[in-house]
């Protein structure tokens, strides 16, 4: 679906390249994550892939066509959820969606089921300048789905959303993948990346430092320890640590389990954040 080779990008007024030697491929039907700290170049990369930024060096092809020769119909096939979505503030949410739908040649979808799914149906007739940040974020997500595109670019789609709306949006992303869409998800939220992405590229200072599946990044090491908490004779809580692969034969643990005295069990496998920190020396936020 996407092939990028040796991509470099320099903003006209900057001295240095913002993107350096970027190389990756995205398969059809994949959810592919760009994960990295603020300023790493994630949105710059997304803007190149969506044709918003031109003047890059290297090869970028999407749907088997070089981005340098993509026609107007490119925007019929891709959906872009911007980091900072812009709307016509004096118009209602529904009027905005109807207007943006009218820009497409292909038949567009009814926005109302999406508005309902994203808990915005009651606000559909309110002017967008009365919307909160989270409401605009949800509206931006709906807007990018209206023409039923095959390839979606989502830049921080859960930013500013409360947990319940973030959950709804993430479930919709999974449904879109099941419907055959390819999705590029840009985020510095490692939980979203871990839950949604088939593969993740770690981007730091404009470079891809590592690229793999979340599971492969987190692969359990010998040091993977389990901590369990139980009540001792004095009815005080006590902790015990043991390697995960020895847990099944640990007699004390097995006895406490049978006696139903264990109150908590925590495994300490690496999170994507830990992996990111060890690979780059940087945190994601
Ligand atoms: N229009 C611009 N002109 C010049 N430099 C820019 C421009 N837009 C972004 N940059 C710079 O390019 C670098 C990458 O920015 P970008 O917005 O791609 O980061 P990001 O990874 O998306 O960060 P965030 O997580 O905060 O959204 C930053 O150093 C930023 O200052
Ligand atoms: Mg960004």
Asked if the structure places residue 93 within a domain, the reply is: yes
Question: Rounded CA gap, 51 and 76, in Å?
Answer: 13
Residue nearest to atom 9 of ligand 1 (CA): 44
Q: Is there a single domain that holds both residue 197 and residue 258?
A: no
**Is there a domain that residue 112 lies in?**
yes
What is residue 37's predicted lDDT score, i.e. its pLDDT?
A: 86
Same domain, 33 and 163: yes
- Answer yes or no: do 196 and 148 share one domain: yes
Asked if residue 176 is part of any domain, the answer here is: yes
Q: Does the C-beta of 42 come closer than 6 Å to ligand 1? A: yes
- The two tokens of residue 52 are 């918003």
Alpha-carbon distance of 111 to 157, in angstroms, equals: 18
For residue 275, being part of any structural domain is answered with no
Indicate whether 284 belongs to any domain. Answer: no
Q: Are residues 211 and 238 in the same domain?
A: no
Q: Is the CB of 140 under 6 A from ligand 1?
A: no
Query: Looking at ligand 1, which residue's alpha carbon is closest to its atom 18?
Result: 41
Q: Spell out the residues 6+ positions from residue 176 whose beta carbon is closer than 8 angstroms to its own.
A: 145, 152, 183
Q: In angstroms, rounded to a whole number, what is the distance separating the alpha carbons of residues 248 and 149?
A: 49
Let me know: does 142 contact 71? Beta carbons within 8 Å: no
CA of 210 to the centre of ligand 2 (A): 19
Structural domain boundaries enclosing 233: 225-269
Are 211 and 229 in the same domain?
no
Q: What are the per-10-residue average pLDDT scores of the chain (285 residues)?
A: 96 94 97 92 93 92 86 89 89 96 93 95 95 94 96 93 94 96 92 94 93 84 80 85 89 91 86 80 69
Q: Is 188 in the pocket of ligand 1 (CB under 6 A)?
A: yes
Residue 253 included in any domain: yes
Of the residues 180, 200, 217, which one is the last residue of a structural domain?
A: 217
For 29, left (φ over 0), alpha (ψ -120 to 50), or beta? left
Measured CA to CA in angstroms, residue 233 lies from 226, 237, 238 at distances of 22, 10, 10
Asked whether residue 20 falls in the same domain as residue 94, the answer is yes
281 backbone φψ class: left, alpha, beta (φ>0; ψ -120 to 50): left
What DSSP assignment string belongs to 199-217?
A: EEEEEETTEEEEEE-HHHH
CB 81, CB 144: distance < 8 Å: yes
Residues 91 and 201 in one domain: yes
Closest CA to 221 of 260, 177, 269, 259: 269
Residue 220: per-residue pLDDT: 60
Q: Are residues 81 and 138 in the same domain?
A: yes
Same domain (yes/no): 137, 232: no
Are the CB atoms for 200 and 31 separated by under 8 Å? no
14 Cβ below 6 A of ligand 1: yes
Residue 44 CA, closest ligand 1 atom number = 18
Rounded CA-CA distance 140/37 in Å is 23
The reply to whether 140 and 230 lie within a common domain is no
Rounded Cα gap, residues 197 and 31, in angstroms: 5
Query: How far does residue 98's CA lie from ligand 2's centre (Å)?
Result: 27
Ligand 1 centroid, distance to 244 Cα (angstroms): 42
First to last CA, the chain: 29
Supply the residue whose CA is at minimum distance from atom 29 of ligand 1: 39
How many Å lie between the centroid of ligand 2 and the Cα of residue 84? 9
Residue nearest to atom 6 of ligand 1 (CA): 11
276 in a domain, yes or no? Answer: no
Query: Among 217, 234, 257, where does a domain finish?
Result: 217
Note the pLDDT of residue 273.
Answer: 83
d(CA 142, CA 100): 11
Element (H, E) at 159: none
Record the tokens describing residue 28, joined without a space: 């059809």
Question: Same domain for 250 and 192?
Answer: no
Residue 80: CATH number of its domain = 3.40.50.300
Q: Is residue 280 part of a domain?
A: no
* Statement to judge: residues 140 and 28 lie in one domain: yes
Count of domains in the chain? 2
Instruction: Please give the number of the atom of ligand 1 that sits closest to the Cα of 36.
Output: 21
């Amino acid at each position: 679906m996407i092939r990028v080779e040796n991509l470099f990008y320099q903003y006209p007024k900057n001295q240095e390249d913002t993107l350096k030697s970027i190389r990756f491929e995205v398969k059809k039907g994949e959810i592919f994550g760009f994960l990295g700290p603020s300023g790493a170049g994630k949105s710059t990369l997304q803007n190149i892939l969506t044709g918003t930024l031109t003047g890059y060096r290297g090869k970028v092809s999407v749907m088997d066509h070089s981005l340098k020769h993509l026609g107007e119909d490119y925007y019929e096939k891709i959906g872009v959820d911007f980091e900072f979505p812009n709307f016509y503030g004096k118009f209602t949410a529904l009027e905005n969606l109807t207007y943006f739908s009218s820009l497409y040649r292909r038949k567009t979808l009814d926005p109302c089921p999406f508005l309902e799914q994203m808990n915005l149906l009651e606000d559909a007739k309110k002017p967008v300048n009365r919307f909160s940040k989270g409401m605009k974020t949800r509206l931006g997500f709906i807007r990018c789905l209206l023409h039923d595109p095959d390839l979606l670019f989502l830049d921080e789609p859960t930013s500013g959303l409360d947990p319940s709306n973030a959950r709804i949006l993430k479930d919709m992303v999974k449904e879109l993948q099941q419907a055959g869409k390819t999705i590029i998800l840009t985020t510095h939220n490692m939980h979203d990346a871990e839950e949604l992405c088939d593969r993740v590229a770690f981007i730091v200072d404009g470079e891809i430092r590592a690229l793999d599946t979340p599971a492969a990044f987190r692969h359990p090491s010998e040091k993977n320890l389990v901590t369990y908490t139980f009540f001792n004779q004095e009815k005080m809580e006590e902790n015990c640590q043991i390697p995960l692969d020895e847990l099944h034969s640990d007699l004390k643990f097995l006895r406490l389990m049978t006696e139903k005295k264990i109150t908590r069990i925590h495994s300490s496998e690496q999170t994507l954040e830990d992996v990111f920190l060890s690979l780059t020396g940087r945190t994601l936020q």
